[in-house]
A and B are shown apart, each in its own frame.
Chain A
Amino acid sequence: MKILVPVKRVPDPDVKIKLKKDGSGIDTEGLKFVINPFDEIAVEEAIRIKERLGDVEIVVVSIGGEESTEQLRTAMAMGADRAILVVHPDYIDPPNVAAILAKVVEKEQPDLIIAGKQAVDDDLGQAMQMLAEMLDYPQATFASKVEIDGTKVTVVREVDGGLTTVEFEMPGIITAELRLNEPRYASLPGIMKAKRKPLDKMTPADLGVEVSPKLTVKAMSEPPARKAGKIVESVDELVKLLHEEAKVI
């Protein structure tokens, strides 16, 4: 069995992002980058499936600049077997991500694709659904539990107000929710082993994809500063303000 896990390099979510003065993007000076936390959960899930089933190859793939090798090596240090970097340092939108991944899937023929439900940098959460459409694969998004029985995959999904359980036959796509698992640390021996694991590099052109973004980033700006709160005298006044000023009830 083969599992493909797409991972994205994103700014450390624990650090406050600074914008460039001209608003053209974020200031990356001194900024640390990590694997998108949801993708890290996807890597962990693939490793757990491998630990349960034994004969599983885990391939991680990333689209980005040379520096994304750090995230691929981290995934391999956790336990992935090999990595593919599709070298494309510039901005890329979800349809093009999906187009590239579709070609990688064609080449690798994985039985399962597990990814994070969204990347925490742009929070779009579209690429995997688009990929499912392009490949005509079943998809189970926002997974909080994954079970595999032969070629049958059962996924518990988190939806508003509860859980739904879906089933599909491989091949198919799963996107990971926060509560799917808690990712392990990349151990020191794991990091050293990862150094020797194969990492292939290719360009979108090598895969026959010409990247033509339909989305472009025009400008970035800080969210407005939070205004000070107001202390009200009574419940009646609160209700009145919520109704008349905030217009929420």
Chain B
Amino acid sequence: MRCNIFTQEHEIFRRTVKNFVEKEIKPYATEWDEKEEFPRELFKRLGELGFLGIKYPEKYGGAGLDFTYETVFIEEMARGGSLGMLLSILVQTDMATPAIYHFGTEEQKEKFLKPALSGEKIFAIGITEPGAGSDVAAIKTTAKREGDYYIVNGSKTFITNGAIADYITLAVKTAPEKGHRGISLLIFDTGTEGFSVGKHIKKMGNWASNTAELFFDNCRVPVENRIGGENMGFYYIMKGFETERLSGAVMAQAAAEYALEIALKYVKEREAFGKKIIDLQAIRHRLVDLMTEVEVSKRFLYYVIDKYVSGEDTLTEITMAKLWIGEMAIRVANEALQFLGGYGYTREYPIERILRDVRLYTIGGGTSEIMREILSKRLLS
């Protein structure tokens, strides 16, 4: 097993992303969070630099690389301080588009994947509904076949990019009586008649990302917009969760490291009782505990990534990484804030924001409870 998954090319790429983040993300991170949005042009800018298509083939405008490069991208982007923005971007690259790439037709890839990777079009993924979160099979939005169209009726909620998306990778019931075997995925154009965006959903964290509820009232979707086979959607969704959870784990790990970096910088500068607080034993011991926790997680994560890019079945390890690192990030961000005392609690420092943002990680992309359920099935049955 390799200890280092990165080559010289990765380091050069890391430099590029880092420079970009310093100039074009960091100065605006707070503003985007407060305004609860970030400029749409950022998608285009990221597209131009080739950041949105890292692991997609060159013929669709991608770079044809593996997930290790995406790891570098996520790690450096997370240090820009706007995890909400990053969440929006990852929905585009890792959650809404993989199904089109893996199971879509050549025409669909030309028409939908290309503009997604260039950043000209924004994607959302629509699975969750008011009555169906972790239990995907319980969705109620229906798509009834009428000639060359599906007639879509229903609603979705907690949809990241919901109000800004041009297209939605939408989970619908094409055979409601068949439970999870009756789900299909459609590429839904938000310009379709009968589609509307409900209220803007205010959240605890990740403010820069848009979250919306969506309504579908007799929306006509051409059959050619169906991804893969009819009633095969559940399988595609489950398959997609793998990458989504891995990139989620990378984001959580990077967020934890970022929180710890802020704390470290603070304790080296802050004085109390006549010395720098980093010289206080109570602080030092707690800090090294956190550094150990972060480092151990990181090594496991890199092992998982290495195994994943080799093509082996990594579902168990990805699930473990998502579970462990999601919970670790919350612990670390929470402890890191403590080092900053009163300042940590204010919005003068980004640490309170990180704590609010990382709280999502045991919920989004599959809850910790679901991760434990998957692991129980895989390890104990």
B20 pairs with A77, CB closer than 8 A? no
Q: Report yes or no: A186 in contact with B8, Cβ–Cβ below 8 A.
A: no
Interface string of A57-76 (1 = CB under 8 A from B): 00000000000011001100
Question: Could you say which residues of chain A place their CB within 8 Å of the CB of B58?
Answer: 189
With A70-B11, A187-B50, A188-B54 given, name 14 new contacts (CB 8 A). A14-B22, A69-B8, A73-B9, A185-B16, A185-B19, A188-B50, A189-B58, A189-B63, A191-B13, A191-B16, A192-B9, A192-B64, A192-B65, A194-B9
| A34 with B12: CB separation less than 8 A | no
Do residues B15 and A189 form an inter-chain contact, with CB atoms below 8 A? no
Please provide the chain B residues from 18 to 57 with a CB less than 8 Å away from any CB of chain A in the complex: 19-20, 22, 49-51, 54
B63→A192 contact, CB < 8 A: yes
Q: Is the CB of B69 closer than 8 A to any CB of chain A? A: yes
Q: Which residues from chain B sit less than 8 Å from chain A, CB to CB?
A: 8-9, 11-13, 15-16, 19-20, 22, 49-51, 54, 58, 63-65, 69
Report if A195-B9 is in contact (Cβ < 8 Å); known contacts: A188-B50, A188-B51: yes
**A187 CB contacts on chain B under 8 angstroms:** 16, 49-50
Q: Which residues of A contact B51 (CB under 8 A)?
A: 188
A191 touches B12 (CB 8 A): yes
Partner of B12, one of A14, A186, A189: A186
Q: Which residues of A contact B (CB under 8 A)?
A: 14, 34, 69-70, 73-74, 77, 185-189, 191-192, 194-195
Q: Is the CB of A70 within 8 A of B50?
A: no
Chain A residues touching B, majority SS: helix
Give the complex CA separation of A172 and B51 in angstroms. Answer: 39
Give the 4 A-B residue pairs with the shortest CB-CB distance, closest first.
Answer: A188-B50, A185-B16, A188-B63, A186-B16
Tell me which residues across on chain A come within 8 A of B9, comparing CB atoms. Answer: 73, 191-192, 194-195
CA A195 to CA B63, docked complex, whole Å: 14
Residues in B with CB closer than 8 Å to A186 are 12-13, 15-16
Which residues of A sit under 8 angstroms from B49, Cβ to Cβ? 185, 187-188
Cα distance A77–B13 in the bound complex, in angstroms: 9
B15 touches A34 (CB 8 A): yes
Bound Cα distance from A95 to B158, whole angstroms: 65
B50 cross-chain contacts in A, Cβ below 8 A: 187-189
Chain B positions within 8 Å of A191 at CB level? 9, 12-13, 16
